[in-house]
Amino acid sequence: MEPKPETPEYADSAELDIEPIRLSPAEDVALNNIGALLGIPLETFATVRHFDNAEAILAFLHSRPLNDYRWAFRGHKDATWKLEPSIERLKRSYPHSLRSGAEEYVRQAFKRRAHHYLNHLPLDGDELEWMALMRHHGAPTRLLD
């Protein structure tokens, strides 16, 4: 039996003292619509591209038509919010308790434990791939999310 990661998604909700999420009727309809989409193959309504690594993604994003300055990608719903990496938001939220080497600590801990939970790992020296994987799993990094 594989060990469970020490993350909230694997913890018992009673242990976390979490309030149940209450949705508005509009949110409930939107969530049901998203659920209905799960049964439809993505290729029927979107162009699907597959990339083997971060370099291939960057090359695609720097090619036409994406490189003609008509496209913008943001991770916020409000354009007035400041663009900053999750590690910076964390430092701002906990200025007195977050130590200066926190990112390195998280990176090393993630790399040490990843093989327990993932079948395919980036090469040890491929830091961009590791940071992207960390971000995907919710770890704070210097990458914009």
Q: What is the mean pLDDT of residues 128-132?
A: 89
Q: What is the mean pLDDT of residues 57-62?
A: 84
Residue 76 confidence class, pLDDT cut points 50, 70, 90: low
By residue count, the chain amounts to: 145
Q: What is the mean pLDDT of residues 72-92?
A: 74
CA dist list (Å): 62 to 29, 49, 51, 83:
37, 15, 14, 20
CA dist list (Å): 70 to 66, 77, 127:
7, 18, 30
| Lowest-pLDDT choice from 47-56, 63-72, 128-137 | 63-72
pLDDT at 113: 92
pLDDT at 7: 45
| Lowest-pLDDT choice from 43-47, 84-88, 91-95 | 43-47
Rounded to two decimals, the pTM is: 0.46
What phi and psi, each to the nearest 5 degrees, are found at residue 12? -70, 130
Give the Cα separation of 106 and 114 in Å (integer).
12
What phi and psi, each to the nearest 5 degrees, are found at residue 45? -135, 5
Residue 17 has pLDDT above 60, yes or no: no
